[in-house]
Every structure is written in structure tokens, then in C-alpha cells.
Amino acid sequence: MKLGYTEFSYGYAFTENLIRWAPANPTGAPVFPNLVQEAELGYDMHLNLPGCPLFFQYKLPELMVKGTAAEIAVHRIPGIEIPFFRMPLMRRDLSTQHQRLMDLERQFPGTVLYATPHLRDVASFNAAYNAAQVHLHSAFFSPAAIGPLPDDRSHMIAYKAGPASAWLCSEPREIPAQNFDDLGKKVRELFGQSRYRTLETASAHLRSQVLSLASREMRASEGTVRQRIRARRGALSARLVTSVETERVIEDILVSREIARVDLGLDLLVAQPST
């Protein structure tokens, strides 16, 4: 059964809610500023604090409401009962998306995730959005935990809201599921890694690694992307007072975000601890 809202709407609501919700975090919890919107939203950049990138591949599932679903009628998967959600993976013969996500996760362990909602209809989606909680009603899956797709057939993840596990189908195999609290805990652990210890260090590493995984055409366009970002931020210069070093860090992250969005189809956010 279709959910009644689109994948684009979910991705937008997820990011916007995450940003809107972040200032209400308890002291010490990570915040997730989206740096494209930094100027308009007034988020501060803290170069001397940790900074951890997070890559999200948004997926819209279907809600399964009949007991004839193969997960129940054929495979009898433990813990899967109607209603449950079925998230599709991009077929291997149609796209290298899943493989590229695994490649990226090798460079950034624990930070590359499929994000998919467990909001069953438009009414629940709208209610979560208005409460700035769409990200709290989402499940997250590591591409590495899913592993390589075994063949060119359609594969999907079967999951329910709440449980810490899900199932890769069509040949069922249990995989870990994360919620947003799990993600927050992981980010706090990652802050201790040397490459994320300051945002200044993290931004340079981020740009280098994202470029290394981008297509040759996208790498050749880095200068054009950077010029476009400078022009956009230059138009806001009357409202922005930043140092040269801060601008360099912002540019590196925005270049990385644009390349990840265009070439890898991912939304890139940066987590920093609250101050």
C-alpha cells in the first residue's frame, strides 16, 4: 500500500525537522546543522569542536497490510507481521547505488545510512512534521550491514517500527536496524576519532574522500561548484561575519555536500556537539 506522501517530501521533512528540532537538544547531545541553510538559519560553526559528516540515502517504503506478503506467507519471518514496511533497494543491474554507498561507508564507517520512515499515512506524516519529529519516526540501515546484493533481482528490507532488527529479502537474512537514539550515540562515539576531533580537520578530510569516490566528470567540476558557492555566499556577505578560515571550512563542506548530492544522490549533514 502506498503511503500517500513522496520520497522527496520525506527527505525534505527529515532534514528540515532535524534542523528545527536540534536547538531543543539537551546539552551535550549532537546537533545536525545543514550548512547550505546555515546563513538563513543562523547556525554557528565551531571550528574547534568535533564535526562528523552523516550521509543519508532516503528511501520510501510501502506499507504491507495483507498476510499474503511473502515475508509472512512464504518465509514466516520472526517478528514480521502485518502491518509492516518494505523498503526497496536499487536493483544491481539498474544502478551501482548500493555498491557506491558501501564504498563510501568504507571511508566513513558508521556515517552512511539508508533512512526510511515508519509513518503509515499522510496524517501521521503531517503530524510528525508539525512536531519536528520525522527523523524520530525513521529507521536507519547501514549499507555495509546489508552487504553486497547477491544478484540482479529486486531486494528489499522488511521492518517494523521499534524493533532493533529487520530482514533483507528475498532470501531472508536478519540485519540490524537503528533508530535516531542509536544514531546519536554513534555520533558521540565518532567525535572521539582524530579525524573528527575538530571541524577544521574533518572538513578537509571530507572533501578529499568524497572527491575520491566521485565520477571523473564531477571531480573536474569541483572548481565550478566552488565558484557557485562563493557567489551565493558572497551575496549574503552583508549578513555574514566570518573569518577567512571559517569560510574555507564552510566551502569545503558545501562542495562536498553538492558533489555527494549530485553524483552520489546523498544528503550530507554535519553533526557537532551542543555548546
The 10s digit of each residue's pLDDT in 105-114 is 999 999 999 9
Sorted by sequence, the CB contacts under 8 Å of residue 3 that are 6+ apart come out as: 60, 61, 62, 63, 117, 119, 120, 121, 122, 125
C-alpha span between 200 and 193 (Å, rounded): 14
Give Cα separations from 123 to 57, 117, 120 (angstroms): 24, 13, 8
Q: What is the mean pLDDT of the chain?
A: 86
pTM: 0.87
pLDDT at 32: 56
Does residue 271 have a pLDDT over 70? yes
The average pLDDT across 151-173 equals 90
**250, 272 Cβ separation under 8 angstroms:** no
CA distances to 64, 113, 158 from 118, rounded to whole Å, are 12, 16, 11
Q: How confident is the model at residue 273 (pLDDT cuts 50, 70, 90)?
A: confident
Q: How confident is the model at residue 242 (pLDDT cuts 50, 70, 90)?
A: low
Q: What local confidence, expressed as pLDDT, does residue 238 receive? A: 57
